[in-house]
Amino acid sequence: MSLNLDFLDRAVAEKVQFYLDHEKNAEFRSQVVELVQKKDGASLAARSVGKLLFGTAGIRSRMEGGLARLNDLTILQVTTGFAKYIQANLPKEKWSIAIGFDGRYNSKRWSQMVANVFIHHQIKVYIFSAVAPTPVVSYAVIELQTGAGLMMTASHNPKTDNGYKAYWSNGAQIIGPHDDGICALADLYPIPAASYWDYENVQNDPLYNSADVVIDKYFAIESSLIYNKKVNEQCPIKFTYSAFHGIGRDYCIRMFREFGFKAENIVQVKEQCDPNPDFPTIPFPNPEEGARVLKLCIDTADANNSTVILANDPDADRIQLAEKQKDGEWYIFTGNQMGAVITWWMWKNFKQNNPCADFSKVYMLNSAVSSQIVRTIAKKEGFKSDVTLTGFKWMGNEAEKIRNEGNQVILSWEESIGYMPGHTLDKDGVSSAGVFAEIAAFLQVQGKTLKEKLFEIYTEYGFHLVKSTYWVVPNPSVTQTLFGDLRKDSQYPTEIGGVKVRFVRDLTIGYDNEQPFNKPKLPISTSSEMITFTLENDNVITLRASGTEPKIKYYIEMITASEKKESDLVEVEKEFLKLEDAVVQQLLNPTKYGLIAR
C-alpha cells in the first residue's frame, strides 16, 4: 500500500515509512495509516520522533503505532537489544531471564513475544504462568540466579500505557551502563528477524520454563518479616484490601494468611480485586492519589466495620494505608508518614532481635526527595542511613552494594508509597501489606492507633513536615537562567528565610560541600537541574527541573525539635508556611522569572 508522506518533514516521513514497512501488527499499523490519510502531521511526529529509553522505572509509553511508542515492533526491537546485550556481557551459563507480566492490555502477549526472541538467542527463559507482582519477578532473578529479568508493566500509569521494566543479574533494575547498552544494540538491529514474529508455539521450546517454582520460596523467605504471629492470629481488626484492578490480590491474601491473620478479617473490595485493564471504578489507577481514588475502598470498609485499608497499585509493588479514626473520619497516610512508621517498626524489631549487632553496619535507605526522618532516627539510634536518587533502580543497586561490603540493609523506601523491607531488590507492596497489617495488630494490643503511633514518633524525633509542588516555567531558557543565577560564580544563597544554609548539593555540576572534597555521593546529571539546600536547623529544600514538563518542582521538609505533641501541629504548620513563602520568594522569585503558579 503506497501512501503519500510528502506533507511530513523528511525525517518524520522516514520514520513513519520505516514503521509501516516493518510493523506486522495490523491494529497498530492501521493507526498510523489512518493518521497519514488524515495528514495529521503533529500526531505522526509525536508518535515517531524520540527514543524509547529506560527511565526511573523502565520504559513506559502509550500503546500505539509509531517508533516512539510501545507496540509489537518496538517491543521486538528493545528485546533484540536486551538479548544481544546479555550475550555480549554475561558468560554463557548466565544466559537466562525471568519474565513476568501484569494484567494490562498486551502484557501477556508481549511476554510470549519477548520469550521467543530470547530463546532465538539461546537464552533460557523462566516465565510465570499467570500474572505475577513486580517484586516477585525481582525475587525470581535472585532465586533462580538468572542473568536478567523482565516485567511487562506500566505500574500505576493510565490504562493507555504499558511498560518494559528490566532487571540485571542481581535482581535490581538496570542502571548504567546496562540501560544505554541495551538501547544502543536495539538501534543497531532495528529490523526484527522474521522468526521473532512467530511465537505461537514458544511454550514447546526446551528453553522455555516455568518461573512458578519461586512463588512458595518467596513467601517462605518473606516470613522472616513476621515478628508477632500469635498477636496477628488474635487480632480483631478488620482490614479492607484492594488490588486496584491489578494483580496483587492472590499474593496479598496469601501474605495476610502467612502473617497469621484470619481470613474472615480480610475484606476484599470485590469490584477491584480481579485484574481489569480498563480500571473501571477509579479515575486513576494510583492509590497514592488519596480520597478521590479510595472512595470504593472507604465505602467497602464502612459497610463491613473495617478500620484499616491497605491498597496495592496495579502491579503490587506499592502500598497505600488509611485508618478510620474515632470520629469516623478516615486518615489517609502519606508515603512519608508510612515511611516514618515502618522505619520505627523495622528498627524496633531489629534492635530487639539483634541486641549484640554492630549497629554501625546496619543501614536504611530512602530517596533524596523523601523525608529525612530516617536520617534523624539513625543519628539518635546509632544505625546508618543513606540516600539515593529517586527510584528503586538506584535503591536496589545501592542496597546490594552496601550488603556486598559486609553490611545489612533492613529497609529502603521512597515517598511515593514504595517500601522494600524484605529480600527483593525492588519495592514490594505484597510483603509491605503484611508488615503494615502486623504493625496495626501490634499497636491495637497496646490500645493505640497507627496515627497515634505516628505522632509518638514525631514527639520522639521531631515533626518532619514535607511538601512538594511546582511552578510552570514560560520557556526552557527560564529554567536555565534561574538555576544559573542560584549557582552564579559558585555563590549559592547563604540564608533562606533568615536561617543560614549549612550545606548545598548541586547534582547538575557535581558539588556537595557536605562530602569530602565537595564531591557528591549521588550520581550527577549535567542534563537535569537539581539543587538541595540543608539549613542550620536541618530543614531541607530541593529545587528540581522536571525532565518531561515545563515545571520547576520544589520539595520542602521542616524538621522540628523533639517533644512536640499533636496539639503543637497548628503552630508548626504556620512556621512551615513561612518557610515555603521564603523558598518561593527568594529562590524561585516568580515575578522576576515570570513563573506561573500551579
Looking at residue 423, what DSSP letter applies?
A: S
Structure confidence at residue 468 as a pLDDT band (50, 70, 90): confident
Is the distance from CB of 444 to CB of 415 less than 8 angstroms?
Answer: no
Give the CATH superfamily of 57-217. Answer: Alpha-D-Glucose-1,6-Bisphosphate, subunit A, domain 3 (3.40.120.10)
CATH entry 3.40.120.10 includes domain 336-460: yes
The pLDDT, as a whole number, for residue 298 is: 98
pLDDT above 80: residue 549: no
- Report d(CA 446, CA 435) in Å as an integer: 17
CA–CA distances in Å: residue 294 to residues 153, 333, 468: 22, 12, 21
Count of beta carbons in the 10 Å neighbourhood of residue 281: 17
Structure confidence at residue 524 as a pLDDT band (50, 70, 90): confident
Looking at residue 55, what DSSP letter applies?
A: B
pLDDT tens by residue, 19-40: 999 999 999 999 999 999 999 9
- Report d(CA 596, CA 598) in Å as an integer: 7
Query: What are the boundaries of each domain within the chain?
Result: 1-49, 57-217, 222-329, 336-460, 462-597
The pLDDT, as a whole number, for residue 527 is: 81
Average pLDDT, integer, range 519-546: 92
Which residues does the annotation mark as catalytic? 155
Nearest one of 202, 280, 192 to 244, comparing CA atoms:
280
Structure confidence at residue 584 as a pLDDT band (50, 70, 90): very high
pLDDT tens by residue, 330-342: 999 999 999 999 9
Average pLDDT, integer, range 163-170: 98
User: To the nearest whole percent, how much of the chain has pLDDT over 90?
Assistant: 94
Structure confidence at residue 100 as a pLDDT band (50, 70, 90): very high
SS3 content of the chain, % helix, strand, coil (to 5): 45, 20, 35
Which CATH number is correct for 462-597, 1.25.10, 3.30.450, 3.30.310, 2.120.10? 3.30.310
- Report d(CA 399, CA 364) in Å as an integer: 9
The pLDDT, as a whole number, for residue 598 is: 85
User: To the nearest whole percent, how much of the chain has pLDDT over 70?
Assistant: 100
CA–CA distances in Å: residue 124 to residues 67, 68, 211, 298: 28, 29, 11, 45
The pLDDT, as a whole number, for residue 309 is: 98
pLDDT above 60: residue 1: no
Average pLDDT, integer, range 274-292: 95
Is the distance from CB of 391 to CB of 413 less than 8 angstroms?
Answer: no
The pLDDT, as a whole number, for residue 548 is: 66
Q: What is the rounded average pLDDT for all residues in the chain?
A: 96
Map grid coordinates 527463559 to a residue.
125
Task: State the CATH architecture for 222-329.
Answer: 3-Layer(aba) Sandwich (3.40)
Structure confidence at residue 2 as a pLDDT band (50, 70, 90): confident
| Residues forming beta bridges with residue 530, ordered by sequence position | 544
pLDDT above 80: residue 442: yes
> 508 Cβ partners below 8 Å, 6+ apart?
483, 487, 524, 525, 526, 528, 529, 530, 531
pLDDT tens by residue, 365-401: 999 889 999 999 999 999 999 999 889 999 999 999 9
Task: Extract the C-alpha cell encoding 528.
Answer: 537535569
Task: Extract the C-alpha cell encoding 474.
Answer: 514560560
The pLDDT, as a whole number, for residue 476 is: 86
Nearest one of 397, 341, 393, 392 to 371, comparing CA atoms:
341
Structure confidence at residue 523 as a pLDDT band (50, 70, 90): confident
- Report d(CA 345, CA 356) in Å as an integer: 18
Task: Extract the C-alpha cell encoding 433.
Answer: 501489606
| Residues forming beta bridges with residue 388, ordered by sequence position | 367
- Report d(CA 33, CA 37) in Å as an integer: 6
Pairing of strands 308-312, 239-242: parallel
pLDDT above 60: residue 583: yes
Is the distance from CB of 58 to CB of 86 less than 8 angstroms?
Answer: no
Asked if domains 222-329 and 336-460 share a fold, the reply is yes
pLDDT tens by residue, 179-233: 999 999 999 999 999 999 999 999 999 999 999 999 999 999 999 999 999 999 9
pLDDT above 90: residue 492: yes
